[in-house]
Structure 1
């Protein structure tokens, strides 16, 4: 049994399409139940930056910093990897689907959120190009993924981040990228939330110790939901004990419109702490 949860589209999907979360409060000042947040407005409040590698490669990224940031306090970090449709260099498109920002907003436990932007004609991982032929092994690392890893290292030096509470999530190409990053850095992250992605099943033992909540739409015609089902089976076979799988009946590729609004997701995610393998 994969423990699938089937949910029919409802009001939350409409709210997500509008980029509004009801019940999660206000920007920076904290969140309290019953308030509204315009996530598109939150996205505009993130800082626009560019990370440059030693070889000159540039990676645009957006950074959400808690408004009352205190260097004496340690903060969780959420890494968000966008999908193929948001590639570019405008440093805007990666937050076109702002629902993920909801995960970072909380008065008592605010998070940093970093959203790098992958250039056109590239990807977070070459898994995306080969998944229809079967995900047999991890391909060589791509330049954007290498830059993302170096960016995270730089952020950890610049800000007061809790290294036991780093989380990664992504959708579509970013869902594959989430698995890719977890496999390459299995000791970095406390949890992963891949949406409509997939992974080489042979790599499951490397990341079976990492808590995961995997999402997919049952009607996805872009990335087959079987890829997520197989990932769950492989992780469980490798000994994973904290893997959730939610598959929405009747939902296609845009599963993020529902997944990031799951009422329990933020609480579950931020309760996870890094466990050395």
Structure 2
């Protein structure tokens, strides 16, 4: 998968640096507009190994197959998480969320990216990040697929208009299922209409089931911000 992606570095005005990988759409046409999928890697991979960390970007792995690149032409963005950091959403843990937002915005000047169709997804640490990204920047993302994650339900009112399809295993010992349940209930209470799939007999590693969900990618790529 890594051979398909271009390795890049974003440096902001303060000198803060973010390494990331970017895959352009199959048969890219600069005259056309394509969605951008932000795939946040889960934890557990060596933070200093920029290639190994791509293994945790499960949606990127799925969407970079030949058949999905043909069916869902899109830019795929995989940020590298520095040592001791996360994507946000985990209490009392450092986050590089703002730097990732800056790097995503820096791509707007390049041809081909539809800023009204930016999506974010992730599993575990990436699931927390997906929730956090839409709660802190609902203006940036058109939809999210948070898997085995969570966020502060007090932020749910910010994302009533952001399409969400969340997934969790009821027997998750790493990230309590309450992380997703509480967010979904809070969004509904605030007037939103999120989708939620819970697997009653599964634990933390549910990505295979998620990726085979009928209509998942069709749903995601149909979303567009007004």
TM-score above 0.5, yes or no: yes
**CA RMSD across the alignment:** 1.9
Match of 1:177 in 2: 129
Q: 2:75 aligns with which of 112, 127, 136?
A: 112
Distance in 2 between residues matched to 1:202 and 1:214, nearest whole Å:
17
Aligned partners of 2:39 and 2:57 also within 8 Å: no
Secondary structure of the residue aligned to 2:225 is coil
Match of 2:90 in 1: 128
Q: Structure 1 residues 129, 246: closer, same or farther in 2, change over 3 A?
A: same
Secondary structure of the residue aligned to 1:162 is strand
Q: Which runs of 4+ in 1 moved over 3 A?
A: none
Distance in 1 between residues matched to 2:46 and 2:142, nearest whole Å:
27
Question: Deviations along 1:45-75, whole A, 9 cap, x unmatched?
Answer: 1111222222222211111111311110000
Mark the runs of 5 or more structure 2 residues left unpaired by the alignment. none
Q: Structure 1 residues 178, 129: closer, same or farther in 2, change over 3 A?
A: same
1:193 equivalent in alignment to 2:145: yes
1:251 equivalent in alignment to 2:198: no
Deviation at 1:203, TM superposition (A): 0.9
Match of 2:18 in 1: 59
Deviation at 1:261, TM superposition (A): 2.7
User: TM-score, normalised to structure 1's length?
Assistant: 0.75
Secondary structure of the residue aligned to 1:95 is helix
User: TM-score, normalised to structure 2's length?
Assistant: 0.91
Q: Which has the higher contact order (CA 8 A, sep 6+)?
A: 1
Match of 1:271 in 2: 222
Q: Describe how 1:97-108 pairs up with structure 2 within 5 A.
A: 97=56, 99-101=58-60, 102-103=62-63, 105-108=68-71
Secondary structure of the residue aligned to 2:105 is helix
Distance in 2 between residues matched to 1:52 and 1:257, nearest whole Å:
35
